Chain A
Amino acid sequence: MTIDDLIGPVQASSHLGDYFEEPIDGWFGEFGGQFVPELLIEPLKRIEKVARECFSDPTFASELETELHTWAGRPTALTHAERLGKRWGADVWLKREDLTHTGAHKINNVAGQIKIAQRIGARHIIAETGAGQHGVATAAACARAGLPCTVYMGEVDVERQQPNVHRMKLFGADVVAVSSGDRTLRSAINETLRHWASDPVNTYYLLGSAVGPHPYPWIVRTIQSVIGRETKSQLAERSVAADVVVACVGGGSNAIGMFHQFVPDKNIRLVGVEAGGLGLDTDQHAVTIGTGRPGVLHGSLSMLLQTDAGQIRETHSISAGLDYPGVGPEHSMLSQTGRASYMSVTDAEALSALKECCELEGILPALESAHALAGAREIAREQPGQTIVVCLSGRGDKDLSTLMSGGTDRE
């Protein structure tokens, strides 16, 4: 089922070549669009216009590069995980987004979007956060820019990611615990959109993943693609030829940032790993591409976990950052065209991969990133001897309480 069947032709094109640089009228093939209340149309148009100016302005590019280098700590290392590789029967490389300032790839997007917000003349930044990494990055950037910041976070996530809540507050952000809906990332996005609709002129919504209405998926991917660019040149420097590139997918910003540069390299497999939660035989998971169907949530048409009646389903994942019923429209397109494939691993598999990475490499990955590791382990098992690059999207310090309580979390 596509929106074509439902409402007739939309401005859609599935030509891979066309999509590569930019979505067409806000569409990635049959996915994307701008399904928001009329109040938000003008602000979105303004953001798109300013983002276009920024992305074609060499000054913006050089300022962003300097900021990423001198503040966020880029370029991040590409680590040869030799012991992990030996255990798995593969040549394993880790792109170390965990080494960035504030501890995850989220800082890249924030460093770029805060400049767009400043150029628009925003007086107040609002953001949603799931695991808290995007919230922390946004709070940090706002402190540095001298802009007030409000972060919406589901009550469930506030509970399980306490250290990040404290960090946001230290950076001066106002953290609002969202008690409506399912009290996780999805409700936090709803609440941020409501706040934005109430003051669309002075407020800039700094969205943290490659989801939401156009132009966000495009903006976030464009900025995050620094991950794949660096990885590609680091592989070349060390004369490594990757067979597979693996990343975890919730909304999908680290994955799309990693994949984007590799899309034209058809000999390299791109694999996204979704959160299998308690397993696909239960309804306690967040396997959107694997088990969902197209629908509209948070402003875009993409794969979606929903009931037969079109209500959004509650999800479960041990990792707050992957606990989301939607996914970025570009991933839905990459899946549909077959350019990328998507698999899932369970909470338990992610935890065991996390432990292996700690014991063999001395690296504590975030629970989100541990899903990518578990996916890579599975890929290595299926076909030994491959060269696998894993996007280690963030560090696991924030997950210590979950890990110390034996890997169980909510409820």
Chain B
Amino acid sequence: MNNGAEAIERSLKSPVSGKVAVAAYLTAGFPTKEGFLTAARQIAPSVDVLEVGVPFSDPMADGPTIQRTSEIGLKNGVDLRWILESVGELDLNVPVVLMSYLNPLLSFGLRRLLDIAADKGISGFIIPDIPLEESEAISRACDKAGLALIQLVTPTTPTDRMTSLCRASKGFVYAVATTGITGGESASDEPLFEYLEAVKKVSDVPVLAGFGIRSAAQVDRVGAHADGVIVGSALLEAIEQGVAPDQFISGLTGRNA
């Protein structure tokens, strides 16, 4: 049986770059359906986890870049059914995690979704608008299906809550590196490092820092205090500017840059 959590952890513990693990986020259907699949294929060998964003009409935790790419994905006719089919067919040699707001998942039917996702080789889910309090049932269902439900912690999360979130998180913990929305500026160094160290202390699974990760220097600095980084908006902007996604990732991790 598919065990997504283990696959993710294993992959993150031996990063491709040899230094810091990288999870890359691509919005499904951006810039086109084909363009997205090509980018996923290109990027898979240079990253340790691939996050596939399920476009939603009202992405309240996302900045302008992911708002824009989500809108384009939706215009290109992408929905969960298409994502599950086509990402399954890609048969990538890297764990794939779906990042989605709750409503499209509810609409699809969660039980059906989890069964199909496991069948298609998906390793887990990140659902930014389902807090710990509401996630117990989904978490149980994910466990049963062999899928990882990844929790997010933030710089303003109190310690006891951080401990509960880290305990509940499977595969990795998504440490939001700033207050704000995706694509913004990350917090200044010292408090950020302290916070990441605090998360690592209570987490049994790898800790990945995301939100506002944009440069190689940043990846170096943040990577020294986390098990890895998550890059989304900056990658999508690079694709918009015609940069090959795998080259962008190599540039970030300093590998054959």
A7 within 8 A of B: yes
Contact bitstring A217-252, B, C-beta under 8 A = 1, else 0: 000000000000000000000000000000000000
A39 within 8 A of B: yes
| Residue from the list A8, A194, A198 in contact with B60, Cβ < 8 A | A194
A296 within 8 A of B: yes
Residues of B within 8 A of A39 (CB): 61, 154, 156, 176, 179-180
User: Measured between C-beta atoms, what is the minimum distance from A332 to chain B in Å?
Assistant: 15
Asked whether, in the complex, the Cβ of B157 is within 8 Å of the Cβ of A38, the reply is yes
Residues of A within 8 A of B152 (CB): 37-38
User: Measured between C-beta atoms, what is the minimum distance from A244 to chain B in Å?
Assistant: 34
Give the most central of B106, B157, B158: most A CB within 10 Å. Answer: B106
A404 within 8 A of B: no
Contact bitstring B47-66, A, C-beta under 8 A = 1, else 0: 00000000011111111100
Asked whether, in the complex, the Cβ of B106 is within 8 Å of the Cβ of A296, the reply is yes
User: Measured between C-beta atoms, what is the minimum distance from A378 to chain B in Å?
Assistant: 32
Asked whether, in the complex, the Cβ of B104 is within 8 Å of the Cβ of A311, the reply is yes
Known: A39-B154, A186-B58. A8 touches B141 (CB 8 A): yes
Residues of A within 8 A of B147 (CB): none
| Closest residue on chain A to residue B133 by CB atoms | A34
| Closest residue on chain B to residue A180 by CB atoms | B67
Binds B, one of A79-87, A111-119, A271-279, A302-310: A302-310
User: Measured between C-beta atoms, what is the minimum distance from B110 to chain A in Å?
Assistant: 5
Residues of B within 8 A of A296 (CB): 101-103, 106, 129
Alpha-carbon distance between A8 and B110 when the two chains are bound, in angstroms: 10
Residues of A within 8 A of B179 (CB): 39, 197-201
Alpha-carbon distance between A190 and B57 when the two chains are bound, in angstroms: 10
| Residue from the list B57, B80, B108, B132 in contact with A312, Cβ < 8 A | B57
Asked whether, in the complex, the Cβ of B140 is within 8 Å of the Cβ of A8, the reply is yes
Alpha-carbon distance between A41 and B57 when the two chains are bound, in angstroms: 22
| Closest residue on chain B to residue A295 by CB atoms | B103
| Closest residue on chain A to residue B211 by CB atoms | A39
Q: What number of residue pairs across chains A and B have CB atoms under 8 A from each other?
A: 127
Contact bitstring A289-327, B, C-beta under 8 A = 1, else 0: 000001111110000101011111000000000000000
Alpha-carbon distance between A33 and B132 when the two chains are bound, in angstroms: 12
Known: A35-B129, A310-B108. A193 touches B140 (CB 8 A): no
Asked whether, in the complex, the Cβ of A7 is within 8 Å of the Cβ of B180, the reply is no
Residues facing B in A13-64 (CB within 8 A) are 33-39, 41-42
Residues facing A in B205-222 (CB within 8 A) are none
Residues of B within 8 A of A9 (CB): 137
Alpha-carbon distance between A180 and B62 when the two chains are bound, in angstroms: 12
Residues of B within 8 A of A309 (CB): 79-80, 104, 107-108
| Residue from the list A33, A36, A187, A295 in contact with B107, Cβ < 8 A | A295
Asked whether, in the complex, the Cβ of B60 is within 8 Å of the Cβ of A298, the reply is yes
Alpha-carbon distance between A274 and B87 when the two chains are bound, in angstroms: 41
Residues of B within 8 A of A194 (CB): 60-63, 180-181
| Residue from the list B61, B104, B137 in contact with A197, Cβ < 8 A | B61
Residues of A within 8 A of B141 (CB): 7-8
Known: A181-B57, A194-B60, A311-B56. A34 touches B131 (CB 8 A): yes
Alpha-carbon distance between A34 and B102 when the two chains are bound, in angstroms: 12
A360 within 8 A of B: no
Residues of A within 8 A of B156 (CB): 39, 42, 200-201
| Closest residue on chain A to residue B158 by CB atoms | A42
Alpha-carbon distance between A232 and B161 when the two chains are bound, in angstroms: 44
User: Measured between C-beta atoms, what is the minimum distance from A131 to chain B in Å?
Assistant: 20
Residues facing A in B108-155 (CB within 8 A) are 108-111, 128-134, 137-138, 140-141, 151-154
Give the most central of A180, A298, A299, A308: most B CB within 10 Å. Answer: A180
Residues of A within 8 A of B165 (CB): 38
Contact bitstring A188-204, B, C-beta under 8 A = 1, else 0: 00100110011111000
User: Measured between C-beta atoms, what is the minimum distance from B179 to chain A in Å?
Assistant: 6
| Closest residue on chain A to residue B101 by CB atoms | A296
Residues of A within 8 A of B140 (CB): 8
Residues of A within 8 A of B161 (CB): 41-42
Residues of B within 8 A of A8 (CB): 137, 140-141
User: Measured between C-beta atoms, what is the minimum distance from A180 to chain B in Å?
Assistant: 6
User: Measured between C-beta atoms, what is the minimum distance from A51 to chain B in Å?
Assistant: 18
Asked whether, in the complex, the Cβ of A6 is within 8 Å of the Cβ of B67, the reply is no
Alpha-carbon distance between A309 and B113 when the two chains are bound, in angstroms: 12
| Closest residue on chain A to residue B138 by CB atoms | A7
| Residue from the list B58, B61, B134, B181 in contact with A10, Cβ < 8 A | B134
Alpha-carbon distance between A400 and B161 when the two chains are bound, in angstroms: 51
A3 within 8 A of B: yes
Known: A7-B138, A310-B106. A35 touches B58 (CB 8 A): no
Residues of A within 8 A of B102 (CB): 35, 296
User: Measured between C-beta atoms, what is the minimum distance from B64 to chain A in Å?
Assistant: 8
Residues facing A in B51-97 (CB within 8 A) are 56-64, 67, 74, 79-80
User: Measured between C-beta atoms, what is the minimum distance from B198 to chain A in Å?
Assistant: 15
| Residue from the list A37, A193, A306 in contact with B103, Cβ < 8 A | A306
Asked whether, in the complex, the Cβ of B131 is within 8 Å of the Cβ of A41, the reply is yes
User: Measured between C-beta atoms, what is the minimum distance from A133 to chain B in Å?
Assistant: 23
Alpha-carbon distance between A190 and B156 when the two chains are bound, in angstroms: 21
Residues of B within 8 A of A311 (CB): 56-57, 74, 103-104
B184 within 8 A of A: yes
Asked whether, in the complex, the Cβ of B134 is within 8 Å of the Cβ of A310, the reply is no
Closest 5 CB pairs of A and B: A310-B107, A8-B137, A198-B180, A310-B104, A7-B137
Which residues of A are at the interface with B, using a C-beta cutoff of 8 A? Answer: 3, 6-10, 33-39, 41-42, 180-181, 186-187, 190, 193-194, 197-201, 294-299, 304, 306, 308-312
* Contacts beyond the supplied A36-B131, A295-B107, A298-B58: 5 A-B pairs with Cβ under 8 Å: A3-B106, A190-B58, A309-B80, A311-B57, A311-B104
Identify 10 residue pairs between A and B in the complex whose beta-carbon atoms are under 8 Å apart, listed by A's number: A34-B133, A34-B134, A36-B131, A38-B131, A38-B154, A41-B133, A181-B57, A295-B103, A310-B56, A312-B57
